Structure formats: C-alpha cells, structure tokens
C-alpha cells in the first residue's frame, strides 16, 4: 500500500482525475456503483449492453464470429464512438509485427466533438516502442508482449464523446485485433484534462537546433512524458544532450534542465536495455534505441505555456560536440479541450524511412524462407502474383503472411513456417481455402482393437475419429468386391484358399473374427459395399487396390456418394491409371517414391498427383517440405507395432497432411 506522500503524488497526476485513478489508488474491494463498465471490440463495436458476440463463425452465432478485421490500404476504421461521460481505462491491440505496419497505422482520438484530433500518432510509438521494433516490457503506461501484444494504461476521460480511429496509411493491408475497456461515469471533475499525444521525427536533426519533444503549448496542462527513438548516425556516443522544459514564459533558458539523455530515462554511463516502471530503455540494438520517461510521481504542470526539447551532443577529444542523428518522439500530456491543433504528422514515407529490416526475403522463420512461402501459395492459388511476404506472429505460431493479386483480386494467405503448409487464403475478403487439419487414416480400420479389414474395425476407427479408413479391396471368383489384405483366407479367417478362386458365398462361411479374440467370433469378411456403409459420412475410404476391377470399385464408390477425395494406393500401374481416369479426378493416387526418394519431378511428370506416399523409412522433415513446395500433400505411413506415438508426433511436427497408423486410439 502506498504511503501518504506517494498517494498524494499519484492523485496529483491530474488533480481532477481522481475518479479515473480510483482503480489504482483505492482498495479493489470497494464497489463504486457510479461507474458503468463497458468494452468495445469487433465483437461489440458499439459497446452496447448485451450486444457483444452476435456474429457467427463456422461454429454458429456467438462462437468467435468477429475477432478481427483486415484494413485495406487507405482504410480508416472507427475503433470507438462513445457518447456520454466516461473514462477509457485500457486499450489492447495486436497486429502484424512489422516496423512498416506499426509506423503505417495511425491512431487518432477526438474528444468531446472537437473536429481536429487530440491524439495523432503511429500505433507502435503510441503503444510503447520506437522504430516499429517490438520488445517485451512493462511500465506504468505500457505492457508489451513479445509478439506485438500492446497494452496502454493512461486514463482518457471524456465529457460528451470519445471517438478513436485507426488509419492504414501503408500500401498493403493489415490485420487488426483490439479491445477498448472504459467506464461511463456519473461525474467528472470540472477541470479534468483530456489526453493528448503527438509524433515527431527529424531524420536527421538540424545541427545546433535542439529536437522538440513537445512544441509550445499554451493554456494549462500536465506533461506526462514521452517515448524517444534514436538512430545514431555516427559510432561515437550520442547521448550527452540535456532535456530542457521551458515553463510559463521561459524563453532563452528553461526552468527544468537535465544532465544527459540517458540520465533523463534514469540510466547512467551510457545506455543499457533496462526497463522500470516510470523510466528506462526498452531497445538498444544495432544502432536503434528506444527509451521512455513518465512523470507520474514527479508531475510537471504548466499554467501558461510549455515547451520541451532535447539536445544532440556527443563526446569529442576537446570536450562536447554538436551532432546530427535520427530522432523521433511520441509525447503525451493532458490539457482541456477545445485545444490547439497538433503539429503536422510526418508522412508515411517520412515515418518509415530507415526502419529496421522486418524480414528480408533471404532470411527465414521456422523451416522455410519467405520465398518458399510464396511458392507454397502459388501452388495452391495458380496464376497469382505475390507482392509481399511478411512475418505474422499470431497464436504462438511462426507464420508468413503472403499478399498479392490474382486476376485483379487482392488475396492474402497465411503459411505455417514450421510445417511448410498453407493454412488459409482470402480472396477479396472471402475465404477460398482453409487447411482442413491433419487427416488420420486408420490402417485396415482400428486393427489393434478389432480384426483388420472388418466392419467392426471400420466402425471402431470411425468412433475414434479417424478421417480416413484404409481398406484392401479384392475380387472374388464370382465378381464380388470384398475386404482382405492377403491373397488367401489363411491368416485372418478360420478357412483357407485363395480369394480369387472362391465365391462370395464360400468366403462368407468362414469366421473372420475369432482369430483376433472371442469378442469378435462370428465376424465375416465384409463386402466393399458393407465397408462403405460402415463409413457412412464420417470418414473417407483409402483404397489399397489388389486384384479388383477398377470399374466395379468406382461404381461402388459413386453408389455410396464418395465422388471426390478418395485416396488410392495400387502397385499395378494400369489399374491405378484406370481408377484415376474412371473417377474423373475424384480418386487421388498416392504413388510411392519408387522412382527415387528425391525424384519428385519424375512422379509429377508421370502422375501429377495431389499427394505422395511416404514410407517411414524415407521420412524426413526436408522431404515433407520438398513435397509441399512441389504443390503436393504428404501421406506418411507410420503403421508399426513399435513407437507409433513417437512417429505420429514426428510426422505432425514435420507437416504431414495425412498420417496412416495402426493405433488410431493413440
């Protein structure tokens, strides 16, 4: 609990903002019923009572239907437009973690129907970091997560209206998530100030002319502090310049004068990355510095006017020396509205010049490069023109965002950089592709829990959630299709003889379950029709074609509604070709890489298949990546009696699209 002195300092932050600071300065168990809590996001854009979560997703209404929005180039989105009296207490925003994006998005705030903005600042600088370079840290004003999760805590009171907008001033689109938490208040102090913020940049500064942190403001107000960015242009020490605060009529000399740049942010003897509640440096890397100072316990209030500057000075053999560097600032203060217009915001080009490289095309995240990510999208979206590839750190995954045009339409795709797969594609705002997830194929049904290739094994596989069930299809002497892996009945029934030499009636006399366990005594060899009926609409068949007639197999598949996405394995090349031709593309062959482990061009030339069969002996992450880059899916076989769980995890991590296994229950 703060002592009496510190409490008084907090309450002086803005003498009239005691209600706004009540959350921090009063015990949390006190219930203030004069406050009405509200929150705005894309799920409730008006903040209306009982109006949130009404949009629909694939799961239905109210199931995360509108968490985010894509801003097109030049688009302005209204983040909030609240009538009445209240205080914005917290803002959370996340977007693409790219310097050009964080400098290209501009936040503007309009208080109490004033026509010009009181806040006009690039999003990244307003939310706590210079140069668009995100670093994770926490202060009294900002809480920043490592993947551009940005939180802002300064209270923002309003009497009549609070209107916040975000403009996308960059030439490419931008994905945005946000939430604004506020309270409607029955009463605000008469002389409560409104939050103001501006952004300035001089690249480079003018020699012997101090950089203005806050150009002159008239009237009354409270200087809260600033976020300073420095890109030093010479290798020598840059931070000898003093911060000067000119108050209430000061002209040539200031009332408040510091001792050095690093001193102003609470550090000493040069600059170090060190973040604290009210001051510190949150970036000092590769010539880029970001540092901040918040005058919360040490208020700076003006009664007539204020101007704040910082010098650009360095060490020299003969003493101090003047210098030029690239300086930027986001400055925060409170003053009443109506207020004077802010200085002109630098253009997008001026704001984004000389920023850190976000992701050069030769660098990579995960296992693939940006160029390879573009190739993956091109294989999924033929004839597209990729314009930009950037890093999209979201949901804890290393993702690439790939943007461009196809036949005049804009598109955006997300690529999993760790598993080399396209996750989704939007075309002109409509989703045209979504990865359906890893598909699990039950080898001969759930053959560890029921007799292989029986209706019982198929039903059990479906119950366990298998997406695909592999089944070996043979043909009897009298032309019926049945399921049996071996060419004879000997191993999996209590009979004997070759399937091709027996009629269906003869085969059905034998027990196909007792060999497995007494529980399945009486199970029969199923017909292909019975097997497809057992699948229902819960899973698709994966056909291992033995001696069966391709035309009969296709007829049966069509009769049961399996017209597309049926996978096929067959060593007989003529039968395989016939299956593909007869199905009009509904059957997808999965050829083995018998032409050589890395001879994917040979497979493509001969079969142009949508997927490739990968035996465990030839499995590797690089091989999966090569398959994906060739525009195909990887069908990985891990069926064995040993290490099934380990193999399945390895295949998943490598990016397998299908995994065929014996132990579906794993």
In tens, the pLDDT along 434-450 reads 988 899 999 999 999 99
Query: What are the phi and psi torsion angles at 188 (to 5°)?
Result: -125, 145
* Residue 539 falls inside a structural domain: yes
Name the average pLDDT for the chain.
Answer: 89
Rounded distance, CA 499 to CA 546, Å? Answer: 11
In a domain, 594, yes or no: yes
pTM value > 0.85:
no
HEC string of 478-516 equals: CCCEEECCCCECCCCCCCCCEHHHCCHHHHCCCCCCCCC
Model pLDDT, residue 212: 98
Q: What is the CA radius of gyration of the chain?
A: 33
What residues have CB less than 8 Å from 443, skipping those under 6 apart? 470, 637, 639, 660, 661, 662
Peptide bond preceding 338 in cis form (omega within 30 of 0) = yes
Q: Pull the structure tokens for residue 226.
A: 């600033």
**pLDDT tens, residue by residue, 236-290:** 899 999 999 999 999 999 999 999 999 999 999 999 999 999 999 999 988 899 9
User: 149 and 11 share a domain?
Assistant: yes
Is residue 40 included in any domain, yes or no? no
CB 184 within 8 A of CB 85: yes
Listed residues 415, 434, 453: the one ending a domain: 434
Query: Is 55 contained in some domain?
Result: no
Residue 303 lies in a domain: yes
For 313-317, 468-472, 524-528, which range has the lowest pLDDT when averaged over its residues?
313-317
Whether 61 is covered by a domain: the verdict is no
The last residue of a domain, from among 405, 434, 463: 434
pLDDT of amino acid 393: 55
Considering 90, 485, 538, 560, which one is annotated as catalytic?
Answer: 485
Q: How far apart are CA 550 and CA 547, in angstroms?
A: 9
Verify that 278 and 331 share a domain, yes or no.
yes
pLDDT in tens, 80-97: 999 999 999 999 999 988
Domain ends where: 379, 399, 434?
434
pLDDT digits (tens, 9 = 90+) for 212-223: 999 999 999 999
Omega of the bond leading into 480 within 30 degrees of 0 (cis): no
What distance in Å separates the CA atoms of residue 612 and residue 635, rounded to the nearest whole number? 6
Q: Which of 443, 480, 628, 639 is catalytic?
A: 443
Q: Point out which residues pair with 81 in neighbouring strands.
A: 163
Residue 45 lies in a domain: no
**Residue 497: which CATH number?**
3.20.20.190
Same domain, 575 and 647: yes
Within this chain, do residues 403 and 323 fall inside the same structural domain, yes or no? no
Say whether both 467 and 425 belong to one domain: no
Span 90-123, pLDDT tens digits:
999 999 888 999 999 999 999 999 999 999 999 9
Q: Are residues 301 and 198 located together in one domain of the fold?
A: yes
Counted domains in the chain: 3
The 8-class DSSP code of residue 645 comes to H
**Residue 60 forms part of a structural domain:** no
Range of the domain at 528: 439-661
Tens of pLDDT, residues 20-68: 333 345 578 888 888 899 999 999 999 999 999 999 888 899 998 889 9
The CATH number of residue 225's host domain is 2.60.120.1390
| Residue 541 CB burial class (10 angstroms; 0-12, 13-18, ≥19) | buried
Burial class, 357, CB count within 10 angstroms (exposed 0-12 / middle 13-18 / buried 19+)? exposed
Where does residue 204 rank: exposed (0-12), middle (13-18), buried (19+ CB within 10 A)? middle
- Both 471 and 609 in a single domain? yes
Do residues 512 and 647 both lie within one domain? yes
- Residue 351 CA, distance from chain mean position: 25
SS3 at position 22: helix
Whether residue 407 is found in the same domain as residue 545: no
- Residues 267, 171 share a domain: yes
Residue 648 and residue 537 in one domain: yes
pLDDT above 60: residue 17: no
Is 485 catalytic? The answer is yes
In the numeric block, which tokens belong to residue 55?
A: 């949009």
| CATH of residue 405 | 3.10.450.40
Q: What is the pLDDT of residue 2?
A: 37
Quick one: 497 and 560 in the same domain? yes
Is 131 known to be catalytic?
A: no
**What whole-number percentage of the chain has pLDDT above 70?**
91
Structure tokens at 7: 């409490």
């Amino acid at each position: 609990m703060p002592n009496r002195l510190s409490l008084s300092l907090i309450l002086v932050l803005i003498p009239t903002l005691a209600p706004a600071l009540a959350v921090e300065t009063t015990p949390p168990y006190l219930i203030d019923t004069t406050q009405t809590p509200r929150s705005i996001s894309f799920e409730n854009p008006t903040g209306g009572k009982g109006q949130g979560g009404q949009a629909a997703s694939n799961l239905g209404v109210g199931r995360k239907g509108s968490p985010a929005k894509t801003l097109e180039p030049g688009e302005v989105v209204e983040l909030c437009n609240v009538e009445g009296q209240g205080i914005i207490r917290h803002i959370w925003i996340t977007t693409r973690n790219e310097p050009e994006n964080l400098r290209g998005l501009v936040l503007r705030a309009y208080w109490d129907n004033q026509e010009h903005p009181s806040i006009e600042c690039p999003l990244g600088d307003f939310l706590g970091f210079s140069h668009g370079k995100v670093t994770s840290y926490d202060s009294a004003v900002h809480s920043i997560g490592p993947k551009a999760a940005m939180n802002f805590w300064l209270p923002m009171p309003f009497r009549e209206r609070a209107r916040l907008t975000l403009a996308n001033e960059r030439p490419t689109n931008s994905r945005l998530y946000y939430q604004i938490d506020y309270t409607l208040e029955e009463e605000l102090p008469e002389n409560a100030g409104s939050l103001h913020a501006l952004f300035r940049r001089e690249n480079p500064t003018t020699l012997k002319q101090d950089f203005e942190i806050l150009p002159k403001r008239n009237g009354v107000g409270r200087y809260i502090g600033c976020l300073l960015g420095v890109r030093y242009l010479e290798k020598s020490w840059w931070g000898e310049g003093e911060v000067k605060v000119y108050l209430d009529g000061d002209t040539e000399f200031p009332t408040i004068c510091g001792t050095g740049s690093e001193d102003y942010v609470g550090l000493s003897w040069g600059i170090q990355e060190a973040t604290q509640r009210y001051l510190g440096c949150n970036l000092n890397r590769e010539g880029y510095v970001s540092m901040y100072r918040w005058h919360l316990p040490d208020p700076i209030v003006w009664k007539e006017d204020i101007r704040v500057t910082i010098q650009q000075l360095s060490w020299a053999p003969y003493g101090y020396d003047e210098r030029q560097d690239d300086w930027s600032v986001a400055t925060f203060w409170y003053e009443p509205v109506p207020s004077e217009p802010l200085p002109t915001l630098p253009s997008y080009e001026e704001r984004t010049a000389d920023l850190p490289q976000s992701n050069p095309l030769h660098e990579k995240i995960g296992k693939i490069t940006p160029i390879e990510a573009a190739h993956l999208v091109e294989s999924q979206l033929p004839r597209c023109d990729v314009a930009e590839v950037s890093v999209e750190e979201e949901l804890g995954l290393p993702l690439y965002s790939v943007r461009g045009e196809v036949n005049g339409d804009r598109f955006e795709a997300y690529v999993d950089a760790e598993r080399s797969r396209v996750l989704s594609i939007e075309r002109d705002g409509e989703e045209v592709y979504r990865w359906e997830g890893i598909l699990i194929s039950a080898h001969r049904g759930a053959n560890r829990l029921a007799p292989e290739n029986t209706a019982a094994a198929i039903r059990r596989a479906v119950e366990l959630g298998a997406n695909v069930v592999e089944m070996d299809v043979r043909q009897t002497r009298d032309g019926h299709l049945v399921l049996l892996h071996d060419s004879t009945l000997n191993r999996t029934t209590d009979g004997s003889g070759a399937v091709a030499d027996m009629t269906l009636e003869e085969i059905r006399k034998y027990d196909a379950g007792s060999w497995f366990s007494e529980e399945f005594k009486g199970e029969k060899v199923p017909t292909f029709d019975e097997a497809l009926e057992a699948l229902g609409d819960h899973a698709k068949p994966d056909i291992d074609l033995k001696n069966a007639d391709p035309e009969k197999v296709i007829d049966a598949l069509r009769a049961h509604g399996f017209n597309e996405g049926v996978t096929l394995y067959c060593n007989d090349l003529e039968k395989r070709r016939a299956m593909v031709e007869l199905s009009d593309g509904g059957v997808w062959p999965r050829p083995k890489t018998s032409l050589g482990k890395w001879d994917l061009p040979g497979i493509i030339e001969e079969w142009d298949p949508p997927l490739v069969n990968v035996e465990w002996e030839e499995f590797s992450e690089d091989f999966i990546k090569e398959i994906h880059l060739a525009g195909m899916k990887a069908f990985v076989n891990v069926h064995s009696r040993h290490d099934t769980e380990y193999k399945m995890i390895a295949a998943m991590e490598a990016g397998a699209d299908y995994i065929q296994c014996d132990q579906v229950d794993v």
